[in-house]
Amino acid sequence: MPELPEVETVKNILKPLIIGKNINHVEIYYDRLIQSDLEEFKNKLKGQKFLDVTRYGKFLFLHLTNDLVIITHLRMEGKFRFTTESNPRIKATSALFFLENNEYLAFDDTRKFGLMYLSDEASYKDVKMIAKLGVEANKVEENDIPDLIKKFNKKKPIKELLLDQSILCGIGNIYADEILYQCKINPFTKGSELKENDILNIFKFAKITLDKAIKLGGSTIHSFHPSEGVDGKFQEELLAYGRSGDTCPICGTTFHKEFLGGRGTTFCPNCQIDHSLEKAIGITGPIGSGKSTILNYLKSKGYFTLSSDEMIHDLYREPAIKNKISRILGSQFDIDNPALVKKTRQIMIASPEKKKAVENYIYPVLEKKILQNFAQNEKIAIEVPLLFKAHFEYMFKKILVISISKEQQIANLKNRNDDIESSKALNKDFDYKKLDKVKIIEADGNFEHLYKQVDEALKD
């Protein structure tokens, strides 16, 4: 649906084309387009002249002589088309304004959701659909802020509140995703959970985003075009909307797409954290560092525990997943076949692109599997060797990163009869992000010292 920048672009294109033009008569080909009296609409427009085109929110207003005003909304795919062709009507045409000098203004609407309503200069702003509109999202003034903060204080997701035209008008699905991404606010966060500074940031980035989109002619998404031969350029600047499956340019996390109120909603779970999901304890570190030891310790203290290695191996055994990975690799994959596992490793070493493709496929599947356990358990501890590489940071309220010397690591691997030769990266530092939620645990072979550090790290 065209949003404020797209409708502003339509206004700017339309205005010089029709100002000063007289209407000979109007033909309506889809009666439900007209929300006021149909016959009055057609009769009153005869002989009138277009004087101006204005906009508020997503609505356009066509001002005419005799103090008449046509209120119009493009909805999903409505589009004005100015033409001098001898056959101006096309299949999608819902209304046709016959102008002087064999000129025509058509309103084309493939999906037939657009509307027009005839009013007058004295009362068009009082028509219900206009009177209920809130402040334009890119024109919030200081004196508007106290009332808007109250309106945002609702137990509804902030994405839904941004789409509520009675609070801020002009924002639709595209720009709501863009604004929330720039504010680092999760779209599912309740309005009542936002701090005042969060709301002020929404106003700030709404103005920045919408004004920039207006300057670039809006976003041409799917089948919407503001005019024949005219495409908006802001879609080339979109940071979040429509980027599901791409990686966030800030943190490298894969953009998620979920549905909220029937609207596809794209966001970065690590930049836009849903704090209700920060409930698990994450355990990560290099091979042989003692991740399983800490996991078992937390299990003894009443935590529900998960091993992502075990979970991912179970996923590898599912036929659909096994087949998908085989297609990515171009070679048969079977986690229970040592010869095929060895071949898979060779392929991934030789082809980093295929390795990355497998990771991009399996990490989101594992992610959903882990999150399914969050709804059923309150105290959760999860061992995730590739926690930071998979960008799962947002799931955890605390992340225990195990630090271990090369000598202690080799000793641990020997104690569990692991192949030291398979762990040639022992000298490499473990890659982790220095977040506030990260707690470093020193593994020196002393269990009592290890457990004491864990207890200390988990204190609130």
CB 225 within 8 A of CB 156: no
Question: Which domains can be identified in the chain, with CATH numbers?
Answer: 4-131 (3.20.190.10), 135-267 (1.10.8.50), 278-303+379-460 (3.40.50.300), 311-363 (no CATH)
Q: Cα(295)–Cα(329) distance, rounded to whole angstroms? A: 33
Each residue's pLDDT tens digit, 264-275: 999 999 999 998
Each residue's pLDDT tens digit, 2-31: 899 999 999 999 999 999 999 999 999 999
CB 329 within 8 A of CB 316: no
Note the pLDDT of residue 427. 43
Residue of 184, 207, 263, 437 marked catalytic? 263
Position 314 confidence tier, pLDDT thresholds 50, 70, 90 = very high
Taking all residues of the chain, what is their mean pLDDT, rounded to a whole number?
91
Annotated catalytic residue 237: no
Question: Other C-beta atoms within 10 Å of 139: how many?
Answer: 17
Position 223 confidence tier, pLDDT thresholds 50, 70, 90 = very low
User: Most confidently modeled of 125-134, 223-232, 272-281, 428-437?
Assistant: 125-134
pLDDT at 227 over 60: no
Each residue's pLDDT tens digit, 423-445: 555 545 566 778 889 999 999 88
Residue of 58, 243, 291, 354 marked catalytic? 58
Annotated catalytic residue 58: yes
Nearest residue to 343 (alpha-carbon basis) of 330, 356, 361: 330
CB 390 within 8 A of CB 367: yes
Mean pLDDT of 153-169: 97
The dihedral over CA atoms of 369, 370, 376, 382, expressed in degrees to the nearest 10, equals 150
Q: Cα(1)–Cα(157) distance, rounded to whole angstroms? A: 21
Note the pLDDT of residue 1. 73
Annotated catalytic residue 263: yes
Mean pLDDT of 200-205: 97
Q: Cα(187)–Cα(268) distance, rounded to whole angstroms? A: 10
pLDDT at 164 over 70: yes
CB 193 within 8 A of CB 161: no
Position 338 confidence tier, pLDDT thresholds 50, 70, 90 = very high
Q: What percentage of the chain exceeds 90 in pLDDT?
A: 79
Rounded (to 5) percent helix, strand, coil in the chain: 40, 20, 40
